[in-house]
Amino acid sequence: MNKEEIQRQYSPRQWSHRMSADDVVNAHVKVITAGTERARGLAQTLLNVPYGEGDGEKLDVYIPSTTSLDVPLVICIHGGYWQFLSKEEFGFMAVPLIHKGVVLVAVDYDIAPKGNMDLMVSQVRKSVVSVIQQYSHISGLYLCGHSAGAHLAAMILSTDWSQYNVTPQIKGAFLVSGIYDILPILSTTVNEPLKMTEEVAVRNSPSNLVPQLKISSSSCHIVVAVAQHDSPEFRKQSEQYCKALEAAGLNVTMEDVPNTDHFDVIEKMIDGDYRLTKLLLKMMGKD
């Protein structure tokens, strides 16, 4: 592929079947912001809880009103190509989850240009450590990430936890419309604020780290989801990453979601009857 085609393939807004490139992004921000406001009206919340020393190292907790001891917790990592959006728009998934007694934690990290790729990966890993230290009584820890957030969630799965003095028992991961080999990004405008070198991209590409995944196939179920109207390259990335996980003997399911694009494939997780929401609830035994 020439540079123009790579740029087009890695511009999700160009592939929506519903609306124009600019409209689909504006609509996405509007929908998930409104959804997060709705979630904050429904749940008990702890907002801007620090998980580290940095200004960007904060998380929001959405707590169901339940007396049950069987409380699973989902850590959500927002997308936005590592340079856009925040936890402020990513609490919307709490809407169907809190009704089922599930805690949702939306994580912030320092997006570019303030943050670089190594820092962002380090921050989301640190957020997991903080969550399991603060919520040691949870019945299961699950990850969910969209787009760049799916990349960061996959990097969490690839963590060598020995340096953190904890080993999170991650029971499931939902990776939605993610990028798992970030080398192609180097030749696109996406990399302008990120300023990644090839070396940085290689060490932060989950596809290169599958051999060192420390999770066991029996305890963690990974769902790799992709939208029907994601670009061919995004779709290929999900398929190849799924195959690599499968080849490594991990418990992985590929979900090709019909009639969705890169944006509404995650937006629809505000709906309890949506295919991916039902799959997540079933994974947690909350269907």
Please identify which residue in the block is written with the tokens 């997308």. 79
CA distance 258 to 230: 10
Which listed residue (78, 151, 229, 262) is catalytic?
262
CA distance 65 to 42: 10
> Contact, 48 vs 85, CB < 8 A?
no
Structure tokens at 109: 């990290």
Which listed residue (60, 108, 181, 230) is catalytic?
230
Residue 261 is among the residues annotated as catalytic for this protein:
no
CA distance 34 to 92: 8
> Contact, 248 vs 211, CB < 8 A?
yes
71 phi/psi in degrees, rounded to 5? -115, 105
Taking Cα atoms as reference points, which of 75, 256, 243, 239 lies closest to residue 149? 75
> Contact, 110 vs 123, CB < 8 A?
yes
Residue 230 is among the residues annotated as catalytic for this protein:
yes
Residue 60 is among the residues annotated as catalytic for this protein:
no
Which listed residue (127, 147, 158, 177) is catalytic?
147
> Contact, 151 vs 81, CB < 8 A?
no
Can you say whether the dihedral through the CA atoms of 216, 217, 221, 224 is positive or negative? positive
Indicate which residues carry an active-site annotation. Answer: 147, 230, 262
